[in-house]
Amino acid sequence: MQTIAFDIDADGIATLTIDVPGQTMNVIGPDFIADMDAAITRIASEEGIKGAVIASGKDSGFMAGMDLKFFGSMLAKAGDAPAPAALYDDLFVLNALFRRLETSGKPVACAVEGTCVGGGFELALACHRRFVGDSSKTQLGLPEILIGLFPGGGGSQRLPRIMGVQAALMYMLQGKLFRPAEAAMLKVVDAVVPQGTAVEAARDWVKANPNANTQPWDVKGYKVPGGAGGFNPAFVQTMAGALPMTLKQTQRNMHAPIALLSAVYEGITLPMDRAIQIESKYFARVAADPQASNMIRTLFVNKQAAERGARRPKDQPKAPTRKLAMLGAGMMGAGIATVAAQAGIEVVLFDRDLAYAQKGKAHVEAVLKKRLGKGMTPEKLAETLARVTPTTDYADLARADFVIEAVFEDVSIKAEVTKKVEEVLGADTIFGSNTSTLPITKLAQAWTKPENFIGVHFFSPVEKMPLVEIILGEKTGPAAIAKALDFVAQIKKTPIVVHDSRGFYTSRSFGTYVQEGAELVGQGVNPALIENAGKQLGMPTGPLAVSDEVSIELGWKIMSAAKKELGDAYVPQGSDDIMVKMVEAGRLGRKNGKGWYDYPEGAKKHLSPVLGEMFPRAAEQPAVEAVKERLLYRQLIECARCFEEGVLETPEDGDIGAIFGWGFAPYTGGPFSHMDTVGIAHVVAVLDRLAAAHGPRFAPTAQLREMAASGATFYRPVPAKAAA
């Protein structure tokens, strides 16, 4: 066996220790499936084996889910547009395997130390007893819904039979994970034992219970906790409420949650052998849908590749940051200081006013205090906070090996600060700017060695937002890229790498969503219709709400600065006049209590009735689908322009940046995955129609037209026939 060590002790108890070679975490692949199949055969057939314990040989945890590269190869084998029936047999293999385990005729206990999720947790559910080592870092559960799938190894059938349908659906539909004590309370695991003793506890149980070889659902008279079936009022109420709630939460965009509900509804009253067939039927439908493969590619495979340094220059030595010079102690600077200090990095938090610098450190403390009892102890809090030193003295920046600037968005102010820092640290130090819109190439002129100057664009709130956009100026060198990416890895964020442009990639493309929303208002479209269309599209909030959050005034300032900088080269947008009108009316956004929405004290925000007076409503309103189309395609064409202009080098960065940067509809896998899925020719046709109706901002790029003609896609630049 390549992935499982099979040992039998003097009591006849077999211990299966899973250790998948070449993987930091155990995953389910073809070798593991073959080895587990052989192991189950031995357990069931050898009389000398009285029972078995399944454990992990890795310090990283028990087991994650399916090896997604293996999963992708199964999909590829079935062709470009596989029918569910073509996938069913391959996908049912895991279900059949776990069913063989629980019906082997021998007691099987699972000893979980560390992470146990996805297919790994489904393996645990198929065991007759589950022991978990107590650790605050241990998580268990079925998070598949978050990448466009649902539990396909029996999890959708076993978990409801253990904890009841309503509770199980709550966890599975949200991809919510259990901590050990919570899992024990809900009877998902049988015992929480001191960390490091799970194997011993499992072995003792198997030895003491030689006849405990049958699952509860295989015992005659078994009843699902809380009840199930069409004649059970609680079950009917749960399922009747679950569907509309799920449709509302997903805006009818996600396919996996509905398939999960169907699998549970149909399978819960059937014998397990039939129930897992029902699960695999619906799982095959989801797997065959491009939505799942797009989400897996972006949210898991490409995200992990980015975090592991896919864009890092290979010839550069590791360059971890030990002392960070953080310039600016506002919300962004204080947030960056927080995540850096948590990563063990010494931080000098600089501001022109000591009170502001101290306020920045107070922010760090406040964030850390919220985490007390959640892995944070008072001792660890004090240790982390001690790494942050507020100051107004440039001399305190001495010996810093990385600089991040987050001062006011003004070229001259940034240049002044940059030059003063160079006087202390020298131009060999890597300097990063957290600007969200100002061109890095221009800002780099204030640093003597522009090859050591780079953009490091964080998103607010820094502590929660996972993305960091690394921006390369015209002269940015490989050492700066490596330094920035190593810092992002230290603070456990996800990076993308883009080239210089006003607004770069994320701010520029995200801005079109807000601009199109404003333009629709200016054309007399009902603001409520616009907001609902944005949410139905799959965006986190409507374009007007997000405009209020980031500040209408900020958008106006960015627009005014671009006009001043570009002069005659500036291309006016229809939304420009709308923003000017809002700012002149004093409607600046949430920060002053009135923007597109009103924010009455102590009451819920609401779209302002003033909007009807400022922008008279058109007599004829567009269909919601037409509004959704404009909001979507205005973003798509800007992303495509960024790709054509070389701001983006890869569609992977484009998809990751869109979803994790501004919340682009996750179910699509990102704008480039979406364009590939619906077809580039279709995208061009829609853009041509929109350009004819609404103006050149929708005009397709030359590259899109070439791709449509050749059959190329973003993820397959060479057409399939040509590649063959």
Q: Any idea which residues carry the catalytic annotation? A: 457
Which residue reads 């009843």 in tokens?
223
Query: Please, what is the Cα angle at 396 between 393 and 397, to 5 degrees?
Result: 110
Distance CA 248, CA 242 (A): 10
DSSP reduced 3-state for 64? coil
Helix (H, G, I), strand (E, B) or coil at 407: coil
The count of C-alpha atoms lying within 13 angstroms of the C-alpha of 277, restricted to the half-sphere facing its C-beta, is 5
Measured distance CA(66)–CA(51) in Å, rounded? 26
Helix (H, G, I), strand (E, B) or coil at 4: strand
Pair of tokens at residue 482: 């490596």
Q: Which two tokens stand for residue 596?
A: 């597109």
Dihedral of CA 300/467/347/382: which sign? negative
Report yes or no: 33 and 89 within 8 Å, Cβ to Cβ.
no
Amino acid at site 241: G
Token output for 223: 């009843």
- Residue pair 313/482 in contact by the 8 Å Cβ criterion: yes
Which residues, in sequence order, are CB contacts of 488 under 8 Å at separation 6+?
456, 468, 470, 494, 495
Kind and range of the H or E run holding 402? strand 402-405
d(CA 241, CA 287): 26
Helix (H) / strand (E) element for 56: namely: strand 51-56
Angle of helix 331-342 relative to helix 354-369, nearest 10 degrees, comes to 50
CA atoms within 13 A on the CB side of 12: 15
Residue type, 487: F
Length of the chain: 724
Query: What is residue 449's three-state secondary structure?
Result: coil
Tell me which residue of 478, 493, 509, 489 sits closest to 648, measured CA to CA: 509
Beta strands (DSSP E) in 57-128 are 61-63, 108-112, 115-117
The residues near 389 (Cβ < 8 Å, ≥ 6 apart) are: 346, 347, 348, 349, 396
Instruction: Give the SS3 label for residue 405.
Output: strand
Element spanning 382, H or E = helix 378-385
The type of residue at 43 is I
Question: CB atoms < 10 A from the CB of 567, how many?
Answer: 7
Q: Edge-to-edge strands of the sheet including 51-56?
A: 4-8, 13-18, 51-56, 108-112, 129-134, 191-194
Give the integer Cα–Cα distance in Å for 192 and 270: 31
